[in-house]
Structures are given as structure tokens and as C-alpha cells.
């Protein structure tokens, strides 16, 4: 078997005979659909609708990763995470959104951007797609700091060596899926094909097509 040709995800849609959106919030909603199974029966599937997200794994010249700690009410924990945010505008360029989040949450900018990995955050329960960027050549952003509000008022920041993050992930001390994915993906890139093998920051993203502007 040629694994380069065979081991990849593929677009597919099973028949849907009924659907409704019983709840629509400010950002996300809940969609209910009846989907036909391979044996011909019909099953109800409920899932969260989501506009999509971006996140940034920012690494400084000492190979320290910029992380944030923020309260997350659904799990009743204050989690260490990567800078991240929603794609608020349909068709928004994800790179521009990631640059905005890095500025707003950490008052930083980066000279080099690459796509580290694309993934669905929880494909059994939501259609959220997330693009995770690798940002290097970091420096302090210019201008005034973003005026935080709500949960953002108590955000803490830290710069942690990549090797220490790997240890904490494997020890079960860190639980945010984007932080875990990014940490292990960066380690895999550095110990494998190298950063030059990563995709350019403006690479197509079929899960969330965007304008090239």
C-alpha cells in the first residue's frame, strides 16, 4: 500500500433527511440532524456549530513557548493555553486573525509565520475547525495594549521551554488540546523534517476557505 496516497482524510457526506437548529447563540449553536447509516437506518446526531478558530504557538529565540492561563468555566479549571480566538468574520484570512490574537492576548508580533497543523477540535460533537500557526522571530508589539475585558482580565502569561512543556504534557499536568497538539507537533517537526517542511502561512484551508487578502 502506498501510504502517501491512502492515509488521508476525505470529504464525504451521508444522506440527511431532516435538520433543525433548536439553539443559536451569539457565536455557536446546536444542530440536530437525522443521518442515514450504512445499514439504511436513520440516527439522530446533535452537534455544536462553530465558525472556526485560530491559535498561535509562538516561540522565542531561546525556544521558549508563549502560553497563557485563563479560567474555563465548563471544566471549572484555570488552564494553560496558547493564544487563540474565533474567526469572527466569514471568509476572514486566518493568518490575520492569528496575528490579531497574538497582539491582543500577549502584545507580541512575529516576523515569521507557518502553518503548524490543522485539526477538528472534537469532530464527534462539533464542526469546529482550528488552524494552528507557528510564529517565530518574536518582538514586542507597537502601540497601546489591547483593553482586556471579561475572562481576559485575569489572563496570566509565561514563557516555558519546549522540553518542559513536553514533560508537563506527558505527565498529565496540562489539558488544553490545542496546547498539547501544538507542543507535540512542534517537537515532531524539530526532531523530524525541520521547520522548513511546514506549510506556508497562507496555505489553503478546505475546512474554512478564506479570502487571500
Which residues are tagged catalytic? 152
Distance of CA 94 to the CA centre of its chain: 10
Q: How far apart are CA 112 and CA 201, in angstroms?
A: 9
Spatial distance between the Cα atoms of 168 and 191, rounded to a whole number of angstroms: 19
58: its cell numbers: 509562538
Find all residues with CB under 8 Å of 80, minimum gap 6, and list them.
Answer: 67, 68, 69, 158, 174, 176, 179
The string of DSSP codes covering 99-128 is HHHHHHHH-EEEEEEEEEEEEES-TTTB--
Tell me the C-alpha distance between 177 and 175, whole Å. 6
What does the alpha-carbon distance between residue 119 and residue 153 come to, in Å, rounded to a whole number? 29
| Selection from 49, 39, 57, 40 nearest residue 19 by Cα | 49
Which DSSP helix (H) or strand (E) runs through 5? helix 3-6
The cell for 80 is: 494553560
Amino acid at each position: 500500500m502506498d501510504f502517501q496516497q491512502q492515509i488521508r482524510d476525505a470529504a464525504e457526506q451521508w444522506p440527511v433527511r431532516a435538520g433543525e437548529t433548536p439553539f443559536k447563540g451569539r457565536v455557536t449553536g446546536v444542530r440536530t440532524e437525522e443521518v442515514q447509516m450504512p445499514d439504511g437506518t436513520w440516527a439522530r446526531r446533535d452537534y455544536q456549530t462553530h465558525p472556526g478558530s485560530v491559535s498561535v504557538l509562538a516561540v522565542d529565540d531561546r525556544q521558549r513557548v508563549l502560553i497563557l492561563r485563563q479560567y474555563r468555566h465548563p471544566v471549572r479549571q484555570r488552564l494553560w493555553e496558547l493564544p487563540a480566538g474565533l474567526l469572527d468574520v466569514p471568509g476572514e484570512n486566518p493568518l490575520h486573525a492569528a496575528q490579531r490574537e497574538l497582539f491582543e492576548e500577549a502584545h507580541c508580533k512575529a516576523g515569521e509565520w507557518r502553518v503548524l497543523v490543522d485539526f477538528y477540535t472534537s469532530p464527534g460533537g462539533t464542526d469546529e475547525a482550528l488552524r494552528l500557526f507557528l510564529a517565530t522571530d518574536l518582538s514586542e508589539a507597537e502601540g497601546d495594549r489591547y483593553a482586556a475585558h471579561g475572562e481576559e482580565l485575569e489572563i496570566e502569561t509565561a514563557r516555558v521551554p519546549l522540553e518542559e512543556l513536553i514533560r508537563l504534557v506527558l505527565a498529565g499536568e496540562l489539558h488544553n488540546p490545542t496546547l498539547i497538539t501544538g507542543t507535540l507537533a512542534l517537537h515532531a517537526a524539530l526532531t523530524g523534517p525541520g521547520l522548513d517542511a511546514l506549510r506556508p502561512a497562507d496555505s489553503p484551508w478546505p475546512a474554512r476557505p478564506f479570502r487571500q487578502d
